[in-house]
A and B are shown apart, each in its own frame.
Chain A
């Protein structure tokens, strides 16, 4: 019985909007074990991205964490100093966002930006760093790593960009990868490829994945465990098979129906 990699307990987050305070998450619980793919399913605006950002401590000042703990390898991330968080980000926890065009800086090449992550956490001499960058690009299934490393974000197609973002996220060898709606902007065919990539990465790099999505179909084919988020709290959770084939909560059933077939 191993220790959980990520354990979110009773997380309650609110946001100050104009004159009102709105509760985004309430008593939120989630666990990710090592070598596990856990899916967090909810609709837009349900607070899923807030979960991702709160783990990375990237929430703006408008948000306030009312209570709860975020334990990563038994360290409470909510209590850490900014310097410690900086060390963790990228090195221990990587994050992939929905729109790679926004996440990448348009004036630097892909290779340069992946290199930045390496520089911050694993300083290598330039030759070795370059090789490592090409390696990473190949690892995410991109052919011609050299050409891509010199390309700029806008020169790549959506699918390639997303892969490049994944390469950047895993560059420093994190043990947890958070993917926030990683394929929502992509065609189904690309989605399928990215899903396959995640599976491969989990096995090759021995990482866990926290997958945030609204698509239960994707969850069914990729995740080990799933949590359904509604109204700021988890209304149903468990092994994917169980939850999908035997949904207890009305919302889960709605989501299953929307899948159609």
Chain B
């Protein structure tokens, strides 16, 4: 297992009023357990606000979790301090959602990717430059763009730059948080092709987060469906598409594949079913 999440919990306080009194807690991630084997991409699907981005940040240890365990490559990183996380960071990287704000607009492309090369201090600037050019070639961008600024590039190009940045340390696990959601459909397709190619070339594993099952289908071996901080269904891709059991999954499927609107999401009440039940074929549902 490359990554294992056991009963992860994270809530945020809700503050209102003049003195910012804490009125209650919003459970962003509520008892989530997942596992990811090397080479086996996991798709995490859910709508905005279901907690998937929070989960990504928890895995990356950018946020501390309230409870539960995060085990990466056999090591329990749940309570790792920033200095303990430091050597692991190059193995665990992320490409963020918004290509327009994930690259610092004041940095040149060279500076952006070089920043990720903190892990290899021993190399000279010239060596780093060559490495960066190799990375850019890998993501199919020309190498003469080093002195350019992010705003000169389109969304798809920026995502590829972000990808090059994430790949610089040769990560084992790459989290893609809605990385293609803001791109045109055609460009999305190109990015997905690129991701699959890079996976083979660099032996990567992806945790692919999205709200669109249609996109996830192309890349994930298994899919977990998240709703209001909980995993409601979890199955191998083919199985999920053939037999979607949870009403929420069915809704997502109808919307993504047939553009059909089915019921309002707030009508779903999942508190009645606290456990995921095995339905065979590696298919688990909270139902």
A contacting B, Cβ–Cβ less than 8 Å: yes
Residues of A within 8 A of B (CB): 43-45, 157-158, 184-185, 187-193, 195-196, 214-218, 220-222, 254-255, 257-261
Which residues from 236 to 287 on chain B have a C-beta closer than 8 Å to any C-beta of chain A? 251-252, 254-262, 265
CA distance A214 to B181 in the complex (A): 13
CA distance A258 to B217 in the complex (A): 13
Given A196-B261, A257-B189: A214 and B47 interface contact (C-beta under 8 Å): no
Given A44-B154, A44-B155, A193-B261: A188 and B185 interface contact (C-beta under 8 Å): no
A sample of 15 more A-B contacts (CB under 8 A), given A189-B252, A192-B255, is A43-B186, A44-B154, A44-B155, A45-B154, A184-B182, A185-B182, A192-B259, A195-B261, A196-B261, A216-B185, A217-B214, A255-B185, A258-B186, A260-B189, A261-B257
Interface size on B, residues (CB 8 A): 30
Given A44-B154, A257-B189, A258-B186: A192 and B214 interface contact (C-beta under 8 Å): no
- What residues of chain B lie closer than 8 Å to A260, measured between beta carbons? 189, 214, 217-218
- Please state if B251 and A189 are interface contacts (CB–CB under 8 Å): yes
Chosen A-B contacts, 23 in total, with CB atoms closer than 8 Å, are A43-B186, A157-B48, A184-B182, A188-B211, A188-B213, A188-B252, A189-B211, A190-B47, A191-B259, A192-B254, A192-B255, A192-B260, A192-B261, A193-B261, A196-B261, A214-B184, A216-B185, A217-B185, A217-B259, A218-B259, A220-B259, A221-B258, A258-B186
- What residues of chain A lie closer than 8 Å to B47, measured between beta carbons? 187, 189-190
Interface centre among A187, A189, A190, A257 (most CB of B within 10 A): A189
- What residues of chain A lie closer than 8 Å to B251, measured between beta carbons? 189
- Please state if A258 and B49 are interface contacts (CB–CB under 8 Å): no
B212 beta carbon closer than 8 Å to chain A: yes
- What residues of chain A lie closer than 8 Å to B184, measured between beta carbons? 43-44, 214
- What residues of chain B lie closer than 8 Å to A216, measured between beta carbons? 185
CA distance A45 to B256 in the complex (A): 25
B27 beta carbon closer than 8 Å to chain A: no
- Please state if B261 and A187 are interface contacts (CB–CB under 8 Å): no
Q: What 10 pairs across the A-B complex have the smallest Cβ distances?
A: A192-B261, A258-B189, A192-B255, A187-B211, A221-B259, A214-B184, A193-B261, A188-B255, A196-B261, A189-B255
B37 beta carbon closer than 8 Å to chain A: no
B187 beta carbon closer than 8 Å to chain A: yes
- What residues of chain B lie closer than 8 Å to A157, measured between beta carbons? 48-49
CA distance A193 to B214 in the complex (A): 17
Q: How distant is A48 from chain B, measured CB to nearest CB, in Å?
A: 11
B188 beta carbon closer than 8 Å to chain A: yes
- Please state if B254 and A258 are interface contacts (CB–CB under 8 Å): no
Q: How distant is A151 from chain B, measured CB to nearest CB, in Å?
A: 15
- Please state if A214 and B259 are interface contacts (CB–CB under 8 Å): no
Which of A189, A192, A193, A254 has a CB less than 8 Å from the CB of B186?
Answer: A254
- Please state if A43 and B187 are interface contacts (CB–CB under 8 Å): yes
- Please state if A195 and B214 are interface contacts (CB–CB under 8 Å): no
- What residues of chain A lie closer than 8 Å to B48, measured between beta carbons? 157-158, 187
Q: How distant is B61 from chain A, measured CB to nearest CB, in Å?
A: 27
CA distance A195 to B254 in the complex (A): 13
- What residues of chain A lie closer than 8 Å to B257, measured between beta carbons? 261
Q: How distant is B177 from chain A, measured CB to nearest CB, in Å?
A: 14
CA distance A255 to B256 in the complex (A): 17
Q: How distant is A244 from chain B, measured CB to nearest CB, in Å?
A: 13
A258 and chain B: residue at smallest CB distance: B189
- Please state if B189 and A188 are interface contacts (CB–CB under 8 Å): no
CA distance A44 to B48 in the complex (A): 23
